[in-house]
Structure 1
């Protein structure tokens, strides 16, 4: 209970709310390998928006792993991969994360997990632009 009360206090609330249960993802596991499964289960109950964001994080991670695996390939091969696969997936993930954030915020749920995944999506997108297409990602961000 103390942990839940501390979560409410740090969020500026006098009483524990359902969203405070998400703090349990940090303590309900015995080994670090169990943490992702515990986090997903707790978030499914407490904050389904954050749970979906974690699923999107997995998809983004797969794209990043593919980019890593393609290191050393020609710019043409990388560009083809971006056009056929990465661009659409990253764009769709970004749009969905934006919508999830709006839904969570309007429902009074925490957006911290969604914000973390959004940051990762943007970082992977910038990396794809830079490494695969040779585009200065900071210039693209400034234009958006």
Structure 2
């Protein structure tokens, strides 16, 4: 399955998170990961970004694993001043339907280390990218692989 969210340090806090999905790349900023107050003892450097990214991916796993057929979860990946980018994950009897899109929920309005109810109830989501059917094990493996990369300096 072609899905990953990874940090590529360029020392700027901008244009350094990369979502790969359905053969496409979306370049995002890590800025809101750096200023996340949920993990204050980590500092404000690459270690902090990786720690918050790991926590974000752990939340992805928790949401996806908890979905039953017909239920929807939202997986944030792009936090910006006036919007946020998400993957909508709809559980099906055979796996999941993933749709790439965005919401008018501002990226600064929630901490990526503790996304909360938005993981299940997201206002104003609009599809603006690929929609894929994926097997359960493939999606879980892809998220775990991204989490593993986030742990590595």
Which of these two proteins has the greater Rg computed from alpha carbons? 1
Higher relative contact order, chain-length normalized (CA < 8 Å, sep 6+)? 2
The structure richer in helix per residue is: 1
Shorter-chain TM-score range: under 0.3
TM-score under structure 1 normalisation? Answer: 0.26
TM-score under structure 2 normalisation? Answer: 0.25
